[in-house]
């Protein structure tokens, strides 16, 4: 109902069944799914139907809830456990089928908050699941003209201070972060998380970037945290995929550990970024494709930025370090992340990034070399192993030399 009232495409429907039991659902052909919650699949449409339920927190983590689903649970009680008022609006399906009209059920003021562009928690039950903090932040990234209600921000701060965020299951954290990264303005997710204090708990490597100075001649925005958020939003504007957006988020982590006596320079921050990135990915169980691309970008973005003056031999070495010859699609994503880095700076938003087409052409040229033919000739001459590799490398350098200014 939220999206319909906002005039947005409705992606799915969230069915709630009141006055029924699991046995009654099964008797009508609904198929139970999962063990923790009373959710069923419709026998024809396969849409999910959930029994109205209440929940009571019993422990930390995803499974730390006692669920009560019975015919006596009202719709209002079910809606009370929702995260935000704008997500706690229902419509009677029976009434819509009979009269063709919507009868909105909105006991917690969701329509009012939609009109006011407010993200507000429904009841105090919000605090029983700290992942809702991440959901609020994600909705802030999706609905860019909404703001978090002051009382909701206060509640989220209290939850962080009480240590509730410390016990979130890594998979749930990554699920929300990855979805938020794909929203229209992902920087807003991190701004909300930072404002309530959750960012320093969940992603301290990112949180410490704010207040870290950079050279103003390269970074007119100066603040590293501000820069990373600009890079992230640039990736959204350019339609980047999830691995690229994650690489944009993490490419400068090492700047948060730069010794104070060399600021605003950040010598060696690329390797420090990698050193921080890998345990972060392990901690949050980040998917392999996101981790591998982020590692390439963190390690090589400075070299890619400086690649315009590279001669053919070092140009090929750069491609080889990025494993571009084996994984050209990943290298294409890396170049987009680097363009976002270059343009995610104050007054550089529309600057050209010639490194991207030059390196794309270099990769195409290197890949055009017939390695099979070279290997055959080399082996006919009695060469093997590393010697064959050297011949292929030399042929690729020659091919780059023929097309590189």
307-326 pLDDT per residue, tens: 999 999 999 999 999 999 99
By the 10 Å C-beta count (0-12 exposed, 13-18 middle, 19+ buried), 93 is classed as middle
pLDDT recorded at residue 392: 87
How confident is the model at residue 403, as a pLDDT? 87
User: Count of CB atoms within 10 A of residue 144's CB?
Assistant: 12
Structure tokens at 391: 């011949």
The sign of the CA dihedral 338, 344, 347, 351 is positive
State the DSSP code for 30. Answer: P
Among the ranges given (85-94, 195-204, 271-280, 373-382), the one the predictor scored with the smallest mean pLDDT: 373-382
Supply the pLDDT for residue 62: 45
- Which pLDDT score, from 0 to 100, does residue 57 have? 65
The answer to whether the CB of 253 falls within 8 A of the CB of 297 is no
Three-state secondary-structure class, residue 309: helix
The 10 Å CB-count burial string (b at 16+, else e) for 295-313 is bbbbbbbbbbeebeebebe
State the pLDDT at residue 321: 97
Longest CA–CA separation in the chain, Å: 85
* CA separation, residue 224 to residues 38, 266, 344 (Å): 46, 11, 11
Share of the chain above pLDDT 90, in %: 69
The pLDDT value recorded for residue 78 is 87
Tokens, residue 12: 């799915």
How does pLDDT run across 353-372, given as a tens digit for each residue? 999 999 999 999 999 988 88
Q: What is the pLDDT of residues 40-91, one digit of tens each?
A: 889 888 888 888 887 766 555 444 556 667 787 888 988 988 999 999 999 8
How many CA atoms does the CB half-sphere of 365 hold within 13 Å?
21
Instruction: Kindly report the average pLDDT of the chain as a whole number.
Output: 91
Least confident of 168-177, 252-261, 302-311, 396-405: 396-405
Residues 188 and 200: their CA atoms lie apart, in Å, by 16
Q: Is 268 helix (H, G, I), strand (E, B) or coil?
A: coil
**Pairwise CA distance, residues 125 & 269, whole Å:** 43
| Out of 88-97, 110-119, 209-218, 383-392, least confident range | 88-97
As a whole-number percent, the residues of the chain with pLDDT over 70 amount to 93
Q: Residue 54: what pLDDT?
A: 77
- What pTM was estimated for this model as a whole? 0.90
Q: How far is CA 192 from CA 14, 110, 316, in A?
A: 26, 21, 43
Distance CA 311, CA 231 (A): 29
Task: Give how far Cα 254 sits from Cα of 18, 248, 258, Å.
Answer: 53, 13, 7
What is the torsional sign of CA 85, 87, 93, 95?
positive
Predicted confidence at residue 98, as pLDDT, reads 40
In terms of Cα–Cα distance, which of 225, 150, 234, 147 is closest to 186? 234
Mean pLDDT to the nearest integer, 268-282: 97
For the cut 90, the answer to whether the pLDDT of residue 391 exceeds it is: no
Task: Give the pLDDT of residue 376.
Answer: 78
pLDDT at position 8 is: 87
- Residues 156-192 pLDDT 10s: 999 999 999 998 999 999 999 999 999 999 999 999 9
For 258, list phi and psi in degrees, rounded to 5.
-65, 130
Q: What pLDDT does residue 36 have?
A: 66
Residue 261, SS3 per DSSP: helix
Could you give the count of Cα atoms lying within 13 Å of 312 in the half-sphere of its Cβ?
15
């Amino acid at each position: 109902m939220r999206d319909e009232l906002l005039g947005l495409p409705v992606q799915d429907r969230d069915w709630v069944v009141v006055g029924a039991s699991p046995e009654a659902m099964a008797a009508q052909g609904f198929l139970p799914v999962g063990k923790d919650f009373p959710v069923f699949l419709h026998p024809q449409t396969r849409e999910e139907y959930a029994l109205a339920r209440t929940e009571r927190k019993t422990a930390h983590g995803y499974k730390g809830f006692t669920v009560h689903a019975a015919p006596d649970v009202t719709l209002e009680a079910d809606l009370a456990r929702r995260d935000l008022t704008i997500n706690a609006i229902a419509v009677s399906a029976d009434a819509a089928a009979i009269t063709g009209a919507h009868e909105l059920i909105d006991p917690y003021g969701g329509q009012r908050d939609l009109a006011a562009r407010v993200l507000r928690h429904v009841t105090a039950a919000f605090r029983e699941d700290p992942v809702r903090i991440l959901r609020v932040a994600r909705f802030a990234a999706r609905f860019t003209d909404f703001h978090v209600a002051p009382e909701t921000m206060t509640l989220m701060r209290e939850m962080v201070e009480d240590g509730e965020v410390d016990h979130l299951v890594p998979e749930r954290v990554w699920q929300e972060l990855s979805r938020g990264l794909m929203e229209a303005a992902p920087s807003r997710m991190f701004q909300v998380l930072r404002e309530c204090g959750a960012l320093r708990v969940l992603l301290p490597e990112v949180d410490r970037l704010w207040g870290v100075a950079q050279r103003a001649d390269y970074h007119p925005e100066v603040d590293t945290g501000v820069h990373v958020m600009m890079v992230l939003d640039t990736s959204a504007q350019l339609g980047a995929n999830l691995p690229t957006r994650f690489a944009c988020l993490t490419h400068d982590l090492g700047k948060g550990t730069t010794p104070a006596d060399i600021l605003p320079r950040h010598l060696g921050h690329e390797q420090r970024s990698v050193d921080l990135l890998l345990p972060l990915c392990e901690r949050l169980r980040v998917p392999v494709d996101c981790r591998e691309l982020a590692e390439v970008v963190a390690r090589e973005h400075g070299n890619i930025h400086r690649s315009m003056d590279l001669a053919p031999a070092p140009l090929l070495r750069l491609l080889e370090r990025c494993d571009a010859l084996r994984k050209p699609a990943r290298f294409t994503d890396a170049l987009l992340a680097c363009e976002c880095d270059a343009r995610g700076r104050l007054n550089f938003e529309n600057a050209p990034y010639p490194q991207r087409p030059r390196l794309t052409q270099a990769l195409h040229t290197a890949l055009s070399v017939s390695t099979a033919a070279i290997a055959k000739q080399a082996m006919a001459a009695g060469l093997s192993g590393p010697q064959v590799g050297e011949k292929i490398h030399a042929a690729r350098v020659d091919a780059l030399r023929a097309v590189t200014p």
